[in-house]
């Protein structure tokens, strides 16, 4: 395996490819890498882990402790802030039961995405405008800048918490199994990309994904607040409609346009030009491709909802992944909402996605 990448890249940013160029060049590079691998298998994987992975036990312990901290902070915020707020605003019982989950996720993703945006546009990092540069000067065991390491600790520990939260805290939805897979894949990508020092491309991945979560939770919060106090609030209804439109457009643009053409192109094609025999090339690209397929899966929900709106089947914004009250639910849904219903209603169900 190569121990270091090339010292410098092209003289200027490489133009973003088309989808056809992504498939042609990415597939061609992957086939060439597979043909040129004379010692592929578990033996190579074990040697690669021993030679290239750099993750100290104290770092893993800190990650686990921060994940526990997120769980404790969410429980405290739900009981002391979100539930009292829902009660004070006199939300509908069903909305009051779901509001704490969306409020928690909105606040986290807003802060996380803002920090990622700062790293990409408020510093000298060129990763967004020149994605192939994430592999320039790559070296085995290279130091991770503190500002990027902080983002990794923030995001990695949160997704560790999110695995637990999906199972035991969040309400259960139709896509909860896919959501759980998403959290596991994301956590594996975060931890492994940090260990192999692919942290530059990791920041770009996080930036391109978190914005959709900000808009999703913002939209859902406005849906919950538009009927508060027994009356219809037009401002919240308008914000929900605009948020839904913005969410749909940004999902396609960030996750299905920029993500494959910036990230997948850089990892599948440009990485081999900068670092021949780059460690765990197929492992990381397989996970990133899986992430792309999940993004496409959720986009189908968006398209389905848009089709219902256009055909008049739906007259207001709602989360089409949520179970109707009459549908059979997993016991997890009851657990997730039970505490919130102490001050709201006897029963209710729902869950959020990525």
pLDDT at position 324 over 60: no
317: tokens are 């914004």
* Tally of CA atoms within 13 A in the half-sphere of 109 that contains its CB: 23
Alpha helices of the chain — where are they, by DSSP H? 19-35, 42-52, 57-77, 83-88, 93-121, 146-168, 176-195, 199-225, 234-250, 265, 271-274, 281-310, 331-338
Q: How far apart are CA 287 and CA 223, in angstroms?
A: 34
Q: What is the token pair recorded at 233? A: 């609030």
* This prediction's pTM: 0.83
**CA–CA distance, 282 with 11 (Å, rounded to integer):** 28
Q: pLDDT band at residue 159, thresholds of 50, 70 and 90?
A: very high
Residue 111 tokens, joined = 């802060």
User: What's the rounded mean pLDDT across residues 107-118?
Assistant: 97
Chain centroid, CA 334 distance in Å? 26
Query: Beta-carbon neighbour count of residue 189 at 10 Å?
Result: 23
pLDDT at 330: 42
pLDDT of residue 161: 97
**Tokens 């997120």, residue located:** 70
pLDDT at position 349, please? 35
Scanning the structure block, which residue is given the tokens 């948020």?
A: 243
Sign of CA dihedral 37, 40, 44, 46: positive
| Residue 295 pLDDT greater than 80, yes or no | yes
Helix (H, G, I), strand (E, B) or coil at 4: strand
Q: Which of 5-9, 168-172, 289-293 has the lowest mean pLDDT?
A: 5-9
Cα–Cα distance, 287 to 186 (Å, whole number): 9
**Lowest mean pLDDT segment, chosen from 44-48, 72-76, 283-287:** 44-48
C-alpha distances in angstroms, 12 versus 9, 15, 77, 129, 136?
Answer: 8, 9, 47, 10, 13
**What pLDDT is stored for residue 338 in this prediction?**
39
pLDDT value at residue 45: 61
Task: Assess contact for 180 and 353: CB atoms under 8 A.
Answer: no
Residues 107-121 have a mean pLDDT of 97
Given a contact cutoff of 8 angstroms between Cβ atoms, the answer to whether 30 and 283 are in contact is no
């Amino acid at each position: 395996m190569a121990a270091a990448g090339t010292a410098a890249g092209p003289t200027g940013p490489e133009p973003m490819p088309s989808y056809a160029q992504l498939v042609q060049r990415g597939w061609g590079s992957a086939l060439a890498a597979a043909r040129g691998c004379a010692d592929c298998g578990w033996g190579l994987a074990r040697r690669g882990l021993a030679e290239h992975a750099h993750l100290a036990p104290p770092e893993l312990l800190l990650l686990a402790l921060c994940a526990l901290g997120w769980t404790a902070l969410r429980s405290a915020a739900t009981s002391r802030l979100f539930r009292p707020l829902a009660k004070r605003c006199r939300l509908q019982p069903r909305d009051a039961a779901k509001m704490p989950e969306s409020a928690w996720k909105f606040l986290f993703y807003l802060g996380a995405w803002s920090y990622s945006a700062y790293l990409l546009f408020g510093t000298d990092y060129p990763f967004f405008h020149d994605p192939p540069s994430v592999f320039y000067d790559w070296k085995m065991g290279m130091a991770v800048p503190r500002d990027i390491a902080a983002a990794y600790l923030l995001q990695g520990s949160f997704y560790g918490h999110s695995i637990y939260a999906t199972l035991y805290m969040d309400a259960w939805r139709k896509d909860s199994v896919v959501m759980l897979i998403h959290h596991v894949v994301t956590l594996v990508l975060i931890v492994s990309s940090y260990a192999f020092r692919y942290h530059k491309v990791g920041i770009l991945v996080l930036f391109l994904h978190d914005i959709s979560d900000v808009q999703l939770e913002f939209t859902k919060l406005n849906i919950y607040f538009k009927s508060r106090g027994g009356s219809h609030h037009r401002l919240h209804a308008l914000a929900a409609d605009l948020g839904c439109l913005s969410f749909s457009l940004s999902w396609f643009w960030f996750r299905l346009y920029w993500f494959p053409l910036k990230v997948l192109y850089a990892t599948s094609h440009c990485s081999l030009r900068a670092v021949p025999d780059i460690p765990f090339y197929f492992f990381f690209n397989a996970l990133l491709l899986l992430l792309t397929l999940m993004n496409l899966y959720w986009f189908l929900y968006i398209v389905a909802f848009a089709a219902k709106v256009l055909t008049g089947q739906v007259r207001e914004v709602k989360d089409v992944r949520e179970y109707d009250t009459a549908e059979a639910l997993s016991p997890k849904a009851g657990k997730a909402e039970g505490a919130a219903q102490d001050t709201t209603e006897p029963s209710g169900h729902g869950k959020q996605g990525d």
